[in-house]
Amino acid sequence: MKTKTRGAVQMILAMTISGTVGWPVLVLGQPPATVVFWRCAFGALAMLATCAALGQLKQGAINRRQLAFAILGGIALVLNWTLLFAAYKHASIAVATVTYHVQPFMLVALGALLFGEKLTADRLGWLLLAFAGMVLIVAGRQNGGSGDGYLLGVALALGAALMYAIAAAIVKQLAALPPQLIVLIQLTVGTLALAPFAGLATPPAAPIDWLLLATLGLVHTGLMSTLLYGAIQKIPTALVGALSFIYPAVAIVVDWAVFGHRLSLLQLLGSLAILGAAAGMMFYKRHSISAAAEPAVVRQKNK
């Protein structure tokens, strides 16, 4: 198999796995902090093995400044996952996932505020289109959710997107570190930070719960990250961006097929507007960062 083809297959698998993450989260029925704790714990074990195999755990591999940034990024990443998993219960997997994909626009805003990056007319246009999509999604709540609970879900997804953008902005300062090592630090931080809130005194009792938690950590975090890193090294950035949209597409299908949640017309139009705006930013000027990638991968995609 050619290198580019192998990379495309890896990217498709990574995004398909990402699109199914809401399924085990909702089936578990556990508090978001508990789910994220175990995702971090199992994922950290997987990334520890990966980093050890790649020889990235040698002494002096990271300095204090880099470690501080990686820890801050880990805190943002944990908040990102916790808010997103909470959003699933209020606004459905499909709505939460699409809303979450306003990440590139928040990252653009942070770039303008923190790094003095210019907000061009075309970027502003895509931002306005994404905002119009958000308005349509909120307006469609009478068919896709009810009252304040639905709005809370949308707000939680927006908060998750903001945390992702912050994590991505922080990781941009870690260009010298291997992404696998960054993820290991982030997941370790998440495990330690959430341990007091994870209900460890009363852990899940059913074997299926442990299987789902291990799946989130080993498959949706460890395997998915490994596939994603491998894909980024083999295929052009434009193709990475194009295949990233498999993530929300799979999430919408899973939400419909497994949980029977169908998007209303307004929600569908809003989703198309948001994803279309994200695609426009990516392919017309190629200045944006894919919303489907894990924060630690941002640096790799923009080398």
Query: Mean pLDDT: which of 115-119, 152-156, 227-231 is highest?
Result: 152-156
Place 200 in a pLDDT band, splitting at 50, 70 and 90.
confident
Element (H, E) at 145: none
- The more confident residue out of 230 and 296 is 230
pLDDT recorded at residue 222: 86
pLDDT recorded at residue 298: 42
Place 119 in a pLDDT band, splitting at 50, 70 and 90.
confident
| Averaged pLDDT score across all residues of the chain | 84
pLDDT recorded at residue 201: 85
Place 109 in a pLDDT band, splitting at 50, 70 and 90.
confident
- Residues with Cβ within 8 Å of 14's Cβ and at least 6 positions away in sequence, in order, are 224, 225, 227, 228, 231
pLDDT of 237-287, one tens digit each? Answer: 667 777 888 899 999 999 999 999 888 888 899 999 988 888 887 676 544
> pLDDT exceeding 90 applies to what percent of the chain?
41
- At residue 294, φ and ψ (nearest 5 deg) are -70, 150
pLDDT recorded at residue 300: 42
Indicate if the pLDDT at residue 26 is higher than 90: yes
pLDDT recorded at residue 240: 75
Q: Is 178 helix (H, G, I), strand (E, B) or coil?
A: coil
Indicate if the pLDDT at residue 25 is higher than 80: yes
Indicate if the pLDDT at residue 235 is higher than 90: no
**Packed helices 64-100 and 246-259: angle between N→C axes, nearest 10 degrees:** 50
pLDDT of 45-95, one tens digit each? Answer: 999 998 999 899 988 889 989 999 999 999 999 999 999 999 999 989 999
Question: Which one-letter DSSP state was computed for residue 220?
Answer: I
Element (H, E) at 202: none
pLDDT recorded at residue 148: 67
Tokens of 200: 């460890």
Residue 121 to residues 103, 106, 128, 188, 279: CA-CA distances in angstroms?
19, 16, 11, 41, 16
Indicate if the pLDDT at residue 292 is higher than 60: no
Nearest residue to 212 (alpha-carbon basis) of 43, 23, 41? 23
CB atoms inside a 10 Å sphere around CB 205: 7
Nearest residue to 183 (alpha-carbon basis) of 286, 276, 62? 62
Spell 220-249 as b/e; 16+ CB within 10 A means b: bbbbbbbbbbbbbebbebeebbbbbbbbbb
pLDDT recorded at residue 234: 83
Indicate if the pLDDT at residue 143 is higher than 60: no
Indicate if the pLDDT at residue 301 is higher than 60: no
**Is the distance from CB of 173 to CB of 64 less than 8 angstroms?**
no
Spell 65-83 as b/e; 16+ CB within 10 A means b: ebeebbbbbbbbbbbbbbb
pLDDT of 81-99, one tens digit each? Answer: 999 999 999 989 999 999 9
pLDDT recorded at residue 147: 57
Nearest residue to 213 (alpha-carbon basis) of 38, 37, 17, 27? 38
